[in-house]
């Protein structure tokens, strides 16, 4: 009976996981479960589940009492009910540091594309328009105040990239002042209201939870500067996409770029896709050849740590 089961994963292979687990002396199974029922049916006896999408809550934990650790492939862990995991003695983990550079780079790429209108220029040239005046106005990044909502690993990495490029970086983070947290000393903290009112560019880098769901809605977009640009590379549910659509259509904000959506993939008839001041990438900010391998290796290493020592490097709940 395998102690480690990859219960749902849409990757092409599991070679990094196999290498790590084999070196540690553990066998494993790779499943492609599509529902909680399939997990319950096929994962009996497992101690560690490596999980990508399927909801991990009391339904799983009550049906599979042998499961004592869930390692989620990725930074986000909103598919794990932490209260249920803690109640049932299940250690929940994520892999928070495998794609820090990639996501920060993607945010910066979206910022540059929005301000320099590179996506728009490509689109209109393909429609037969060769006229830089159709791109106006183009603001100067070195004169801009860039706001960062969430100054964790990725937000801090973006701030470092922006330091020589923009006039000022400001930030809001709910954990400012929490013991043990450290932040870049050149970033000035402001209130959430000030972040909205002062940012020429606002980039979102916070986790999705009950308090951040639709954090950016009608009132928040209305409070932003009329010439502001908005970027979200964190979680789709943080943004009310209907409110974003209204803000873009009305010109309340100048443009927006998303790497994530509340429901993925975006349908081809989504009205956001008809707007020239909107651009999107397919939840690809995390990806590079190197980060993809790091994710798989680190997830397997976390499973080995738990089985060997009962401790983990990346806990997201406290038992």
Answer yes or no: 235 catalytic.
Answer: yes
Given the residues 11, 116, 249, 283, the one annotated as active site: 283
Of the listed 126, 127, 210, 264, which one is catalytic? Answer: 264
CA distance 198 to 228: 9
Q: In what order do the strands lie in the sheet with 91-93?
A: 28-30, 4-6, 48-51, 69-72, 91-93
Q: Give whole-number Cα distances, 171 to 163, 273, 287, in Å.
A: 13, 29, 25
Task: Give the separation between CA 143 and CA 189, rounded to whole angstroms.
Answer: 19
| Distance (Å, whole) CA 103 – CA 234 | 9
Quickly count: other Cβ atoms within 10 Å of residue 94's Cβ: 23
- State yes or no: is 11 an active-site residue: no
Determine whether 214 is an active site residue: no
Q: In what order do the strands lie in the sheet with 255-258?
A: 188-189, 168-172, 145-149, 201-204, 229-232, 255-258, 278-280
Marked catalytic residue, from 235, 241, 302, 305: 235
> Whole-angstrom Cα distance, residue 4 to residue 21?
9
Active-site residues, by number, are 235, 264, 283
């Amino acid at each position: 009976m395998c102690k480690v089961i990859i219960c749902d994963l849409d990757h092409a292979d599991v070679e990094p996981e196999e290498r790590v687990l084999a070196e540690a002396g553990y066998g494993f199974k790779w499943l492609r479960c599509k529902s909680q029922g399939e997990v319950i049916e096929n994962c009996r006896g497992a101690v560690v589940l490596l999980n990508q999408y399927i909801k991990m809550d009391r339904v799983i934990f009550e049906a599979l009492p042998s499961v004592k650790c869930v390692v989620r492939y990725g930074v986000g862990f909103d598919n794990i009910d932490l209260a249920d995991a803690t109640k049932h003695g299940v250690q929940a983990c994520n892999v928070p540091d495998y794609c820090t550079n990639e996501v920060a780079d993607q945010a910066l790429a979206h910022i540059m594309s929005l301000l320099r209108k590179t996506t728009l220029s490509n689109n209109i040239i393909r429609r037969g328009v060769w006229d830089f005046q159709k791109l106006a106005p183009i603001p100067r990044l070195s004169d801009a105040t860039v706001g960062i909502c969430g100054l964790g690993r990725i937000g801090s990495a973006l701030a470092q990239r922006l330091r020589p490029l923009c006039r000022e970086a400001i930030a809001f983070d709910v954990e400012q002042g929490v013991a043990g947290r450290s932040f870049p000393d050149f970033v000035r903290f402001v209130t959430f209201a000030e972040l909205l009112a002062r940012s020429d560019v606002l980039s979102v880098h916070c986790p999705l939870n009950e308090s951040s769901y639709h954090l950016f809605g009608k009132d928040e977009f209305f409070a932003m500067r009329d010439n502001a640009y908005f970027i979200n590379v964190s979680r789709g549910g943080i943004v009310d996409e209907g409110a974003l659509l209204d803000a873009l259509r009305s010109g309340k904000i100048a443009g927006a770029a998303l790497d994530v959506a509340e429901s993925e993939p975006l349908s081809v008839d989504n009205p956001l896709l008809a707007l020239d001041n909107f651009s999107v990438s397919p939840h690809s900010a995390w990806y590079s050849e190197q980060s993809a391998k790091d994710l798989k290796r680190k997830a397997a290493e976390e499973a080995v740590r738990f089985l060997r020592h009962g401790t983990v490097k990346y806990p997201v709940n406290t038992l």
